[in-house]
Amino acid sequence: MKKIFSFSLKLLISLLLIILFLEVGLRIIPNIIPPKVLINFEPRLREKVAKGWLPTYGDTIILNRDDSGPPLRIWKPFIKHTHYDADVPGDAFTVETDEIGFCNPRGIYNREPKIDIITIGDSFTWCNAVSPQDTWTKRLSDLTGLSTYNLGKGNLGLYEYIQILKGFGINKHPKFVILNVYEGNDIGDAITYFQTKNKDSDENIDSSKSRLEQSLLENPIGRHSYSFNLIRAYIKYLYNKIVRYSFNKDVNFRYSIVFPDNALESFVKLSRQHNFIPVVAYTPSAHTVYESYAIFDDPTLKDTLKSFSYLQREYFKMKGEEMGYIFIDLTPYLQSAASSSKSQNLLYYRTNLHLTRYGNGIIAKALRESMKNLGLIE
């Protein structure tokens, strides 16, 4: 009995020493915590650790919206963003927002009373691991001689694009507004808008967390201990990565597609009120562009997602004819570039699957060519 007690005591002391060293080490070098794990830290501690290293709520401001949607946060001016998953040599790892918090070379917004082309969209419009000078928005300006301004913001959807356009784009009296729809998640973001509309929001409480998890966080150890949060966050990460994946293998992937028209209707209505030409551009996912090379863990999803891509593009084309906006499908241009360059010039990063500098350039050329063929520009 004494041996068991002695062993247990030694084991307990060893564990406490390990936790103590871990706590001290994390406080000295907090940026060794992987972002994918840090996201599961207690919110206030997460912001403290991330400050000056990763973007936080403190780096954003809330943009007032007129559609009763959920809180819309945009970046503050001159905030630096570091992308740790850019895997193409020469592309930018750190970018900085401009004087109003968007991804453009400094000075354009304050200097120009009128801007020819305003672009709106998510992270496929924003400068994700490319410099502001290398986004398709700026490259389009270089190719056409028209002034452009990028109002893209990641993790948003169609309704948020319209709000940002109203807040920052309309007052620049654009000739064109290009709304860039991303194949991957824009429709899902629109559904989220409906689900959260008119609901109260508390940014310090994650409704997806269980009561047990909330209780673990809402105590002195949960609020202040780096090591406790690291261990708990890693457990949650591994659970989501392994356990949930294992249980979701037999998920029924049948679905119905319900497209929200109001955002597009608002876009066209704004164009008539403010005399600009509305353009909806469609950016496909990497698996659509590289369909000949894409290998899914579940092979049955390949045809499903191919059909989904086709249905979305046909929908936006049909709605353009009905509503009066111009639809430009970027899919064939990107597929052609992928076919000719293959792995020599990647259009998307391997890790984050966003557009590379080369991919941004192809989109700019495709838009210039399409707008020229349509007689919109010389």
CATH of the domain at 92: 3.40.50.1110
Look at residue 161 and tell me if it is in a domain: yes
pLDDT above 50: residue 133:
yes
Joined tokens for residue 255:
């679905």
Look at residue 156 and tell me if it is in a domain: yes
Spatial CB neighbours of 222, under 8 Å, sequence gap ≥ 6? 42, 216, 228, 229, 232
Give the residue among 55, 6, 83 at the shortest CA–CA distance from 349.
83
Look at residue 159 and tell me if it is in a domain: yes
CB hemisphere CA count around 166 (13 angstroms): 18
Look at residue 284 and tell me if it is in a domain: yes
Cβ neighbours of 232 (radius 10 Å): 20
- Quote the radius of gyration of the chain (alpha carbons, Å): 24
> Which spans in 1-60 are helix H?
2-28, 35-38, 43-50
pLDDT above 80: residue 54:
no
Q: Domain range for residue 264?
A: 64-198+254-373
Look at residue 248 and tell me if it is in a domain: no
Percent residues over pLDDT 70 in the chain: 84
Contact criterion met (CB below 8 Å) for 87 and 350: yes
Least-confidence region, from 67-81, 202-216, 281-295: 202-216
Residue 296 vs residue 160, higher pLDDT: 160
Please tell me the distance from the alpha carbon of residue 157 to that of residue 160, in angstroms, as a whole number. Answer: 5
Look at residue 27 and tell me if it is in a domain: no
Most confident option among 61-75, 204-218, 254-268: 61-75
pLDDT above 50: residue 257:
no
Look at residue 55 and tell me if it is in a domain: no
Section 339-358 average pLDDT? 88
What's the mean per-residue pLDDT of the chain?
Answer: 85
Least-confidence region, from 263-267, 283-287, 301-305: 301-305
Per-residue pLDDT band at 46 (split at 50, 70, 90): confident
The domain total for the chain is 1
Joined tokens for residue 158:
């169609």
Percent residues over pLDDT 90 in the chain: 50
Look at residue 38 and tell me if it is in a domain: no
